[in-house]
Structure 1
């Protein structure tokens, strides 16, 4: 019964990743969703055949997901996405701003 489930989750992961990219326009968010769902599919594979090969495959999927996400985070420019109010020319108001009346 659970044999086709990992394949279905893998296919859904690709579709949801593309839908996330289309809806948000953020490739980082879409990649995060895709990697999380692919990790779930890899872990679901362990429910069917439980052996060292399947365990090594799931561990490899988790390792690749973690390494890939660390590379994405490491290449993120300082300050996030660059869409902050300060960068768009709007002044930032805070508790330490005493110049306001």
Structure 2
């Protein structure tokens, strides 16, 4: 009876991840739910089986969760600024007095 509980928890984790993905439409949130529930299933599997295999399985699931979430939380690398963006920043640079120089007239405006 207890052996099947971990398998049921794994199946429910997959189903819950799919439901979250379809309802929230955020793959990061769905992956977070899936990984958390897979950790719970791994801990249930560890509680049932007291061997080294169960411990290694639970440790592998937790390690996988940590690595995936660290990779997702880091996000994609930042893009290099374009020339247009650099020019926009340059035009609105404040002067020493804290005022910005007007682009067209050359006058200092508040």
Task: Tell me, yes or no, whether TM beats 0.5.
Answer: yes
**Aligned-pair distance for 1:51?**
1.2
Higher helix share: 2
1:76 Cα shift? Answer: 5.5
TM-score, normalised to structure 1, is: 0.72
Write the mapping of 1:4-83 to structure 2, written as runs, cut at 5 A. 4-75=4-75
> Unaligned stretches of 5+ in structure 1?
79-101
Count residues with an aligned counterpart.
Answer: 78
- Structure-1 separation of matches of 2:42 and 2:68: 16
Larger Rg: 2
RMSD between aligned residues: 1.4
Structure 1 stretches (4+) deviating beyond 6 angstroms?
Answer: none
1:9–1:38 Cα contact (<8 Å) kept? yes
SS at match of 1:61: helix
Q: TM-score of the superposition, structure 2-length normalised?
A: 0.67
Contact 1:6 1:45 in 2 (8 A): yes
Higher relative contact order, structure no. (Cα contacts within 8 Å, ≥ 6 residues apart): 1
1:46-88: per-residue Cα shift (whole Å, max 9, x none)?
121101121111111100100000000011577xxxxxxxxxx
**How far apart in 2 are the matches of 1:19 and 1:42?**
21
